[in-house]
Amino acid sequence: QFLFVVTFTTFLLCCVDYDILFANRPLNHSHAGGAAAPDRSKVTLPDAVLPAPQCAQSIRASGWIIFLLVMAAVFWLYRLVKVLCRLLGYWEIRAFYTRALGIPSEGLRDYSWQEVQARLISLQRRQQMCVHKRELTELDIYHRILRFQNYTVAMVNKSLLPLRFRLPLLGPVVFLTQGLKYNLELLLFRGPGALFQNKWSLRPQCKRAGARRELARRLARAMVALGVANLALCPCVLVWQLLYAFFSYAEGIKREPGSLGTRRWSLYGRHYLRHFNELDHELRARLSRGYKPAAKYMNSFSSPLLAVLAKNVGFFAGSILAVLIVLTVYDEDVLTVQHILTAVTLLGLTVTLARSFIPDEHTVWCPQQLLQRVLAHVHYLPEHWHRTAGHAETRGEMAQLFQYKAVFILEELLSPIVTPLILIFALPPRALDIVDFFRNFTVEVVGVGDICSFAQLDVRNHGNPQWLSAGQTEASVYQQAENGKTELSLMHFAITNPRWQPPPPSELFLSQLKEKVQQDAAAVPPTHHVLAEGPLGASLLS
């Protein structure tokens, strides 16, 4: 895709004669007598393509295009080396699955992750691949796979990263893009001066309290330097983002303009809603189950004024479009009129866009029940949302987690401009807090390495008093996870891995929780009484 975008864009800029293509200049053909006469016949695509020598000369004449092509070539070679290294790693993984675990490639789809994990634990008992401990647990495997992801989830949970901003006119916004995430990973985990010295251990000076200020100063300087580098590369990255977005979404938007109004879980939302020790496929499955309830909740809000405007705009545009279609059916020469196809296309886009703002007249207004259905799958919602489910402010906060596709595209396009500003101005003041976080919340596990202590799912050290009985946690406000993430992550991991043996405090919490659930289930009235209480239930029962 990268090669195609670069080659095709260069071809469009340097190898097409747009005066011929747009018929601004007549096409000249040589006749037998040697004289050239304007040819008013239809222009074909080959007529508008410049000859190869002229095309090459056009490319060499532009220093800016040559610079971009050199940058693209360097980036492509870097990606090629990276892909080849990954392929070697994938080949080793394939060999490990087929030879060590006894899972053939053609039968891989028939195995669940739990079955693969069970074979891995059994293999450790027989061959002791991890020499530092005899038994591997399910939690050890998750810690190795999700080492860096658990740190990121914890920092988002503790609001350590500067991702929330208040802007004039727009109000509170959340900004986290793939570009910003990549830069944060370079600074903290994967870069040459990152806090992690390799894939499994933190730098020794990060664990010493006496070196915290010097380490914070170095980290702040690295943030600024990386931001300046991003700023220098901003034109190249911005051009690439614009071209890639155009080639990726233009055809889909033309075919289905309403696709910009569909929603997706934002990158910030995926980190906010992710449990500790939750694998990618588990997170995708959980959020996919919550997609339809979340979309119904967001679509249940509508503006009467906007709906009236959309109906009128749709009516006017649709009327003109209908007349043009009838004229085209009556006489196809109408299509030869200049800009008639452009008008038909724009009118069709306008009609489709207007329809997306018109609410379904059969929708039942029941935000409380819809939000409960969302909570059943995503598990994390601020407590005050339950009391204000029908408020516009709640919908706005939900939109930060469940954003329009158009907003996602716009954020990614703005990322080359905004990311350097965050790295230079917003992130350095947090350097000391980030260094303290890694020192205070890193533990070394034998056979696993350094991991985030929140990922141990220890309710005594990181539990929230609102979720636990008296005396079950010793965590201070600084040590406890927000929104019950430790407890919910513990429940999710215990359900996903029923053979796992949790530590005694966590096991006590799970047993008390089971008893409470059984008591609540016994006290619940019959289902039809519960359903009849709300408008959604009344509608379903009717």
What is the SS3 string spanning 196-248? ECCCCCECHHHHCHHHHHHHHHHHHHHHHHHHHHHHHHHHHHHHHHHHHHHHH
CB atoms within 10 A of CB 79: 12
Look-up: residue for tokens 């053909």? 29
pLDDT of amino acid 37: 52
Residue position matching structure tokens 């992690």: 196
- Work out the number of other CB atoms within 10 angstroms of the CB of residue 477: 8
Distance separating alpha carbons of residues 189 and 223, to the nearest angstrom: 13
Per-residue pLDDT at 178: 96
- List beta partners, residue 166: 172
Q: Which residue has the tokens 């988002």?
A: 156
Q: Identify the weakest region by mean pLDDT among 14-23, 118-127, 439-448.
A: 14-23
238-261: average pLDDT: 83
Sign of the CA dihedral running 264, 267, 269, 275: positive
Asked if 457 and 506 count as a contact pair (C-beta separation under 8 A), the reply is yes
Quickly state the pLDDT bin for 516 (edges 50, 70, 90). Answer: confident
Strand partners, 442: 452
Cα separations (Å) of 297 from 11, 362, 389? 46, 14, 9
C-alpha 434/C-alpha 437 separation (Å) is 5
Q: What is the mean pLDDT of residues 391-403?
A: 93
CA distance 178 to 35: 59
Which pLDDT score is estimated for 465?
85
Indicate the range of 181-190, 268-277, 297-306 predicted with least confidence: 297-306
Q: How far apart are CA 394 and CA 275, in angstroms?
A: 22
| Least trusted range by pLDDT, from 28-37, 387-396, 448-457 | 28-37
Q: Is pLDDT at 331 greater than 80 in this prediction? A: yes
Residue 32 has pLDDT above 50, yes or no: no
**Is the pLDDT higher at 219 or at 475?**
219
Of 118-122, 189-193, 253-257, 311-315, least confident by mean pLDDT is 253-257
**What pLDDT shows up at residue 454?**
96
Distance CA 308, CA 303 (A): 9
The pTM score is: 0.87
- Buried b / exposed e over 523-535, threshold 16 CB at 10 Å, is eeeeeeeeeeeee
Which of 205-209, 350-354, 482-486 is the least confident region? 350-354
pLDDT at 419 over 80: yes
Query: How do strand 263-265 and strand 449-452 relate by DSSP bridges?
Result: unpaired
The least confident of 84-98, 334-348, 514-528 is 514-528
Residue 146, SS3 per DSSP: coil
Q: How confident is the model at residue 422 (pLDDT cuts 50, 70, 90)?
A: very high
The answer to whether 273 and 484 have CB atoms below 8 angstroms apart is: no
CA-closest candidate to residue 166, choices 429, 396, 402, 385: 396
Do residues 524 and 487 touch, judged by C-beta distance below 8 A? Answer: no
Per residue in 154-179, pLDDT (tens digit) is 999 999 999 999 999 888 999 999 99
Say if CB 204 and CB 296 are below 8 A apart: no
**How confident is residue 542, by pLDDT bands cut at 50, 70 and 90?**
very low
Tokens standing for residue 450: 């350094």
pLDDT at 41: 61
Q: In this model, does residue 453 exceed pLDDT 90?
A: yes
The predicted-structure confidence for 71-98, as pLDDT tens digits, reads as follows 899 999 999 999 999 999 999 999 999 9
Residue 515: enclosing H or E segment and its boundaries?
helix 504-523
In the chain, where the domains are located: 1-23+42-139, 146-282+404-437, 304-357, 457-528
Name 537's Cβ contacts closer than 8 Å, sequence gap at least 6: 369, 530, 531
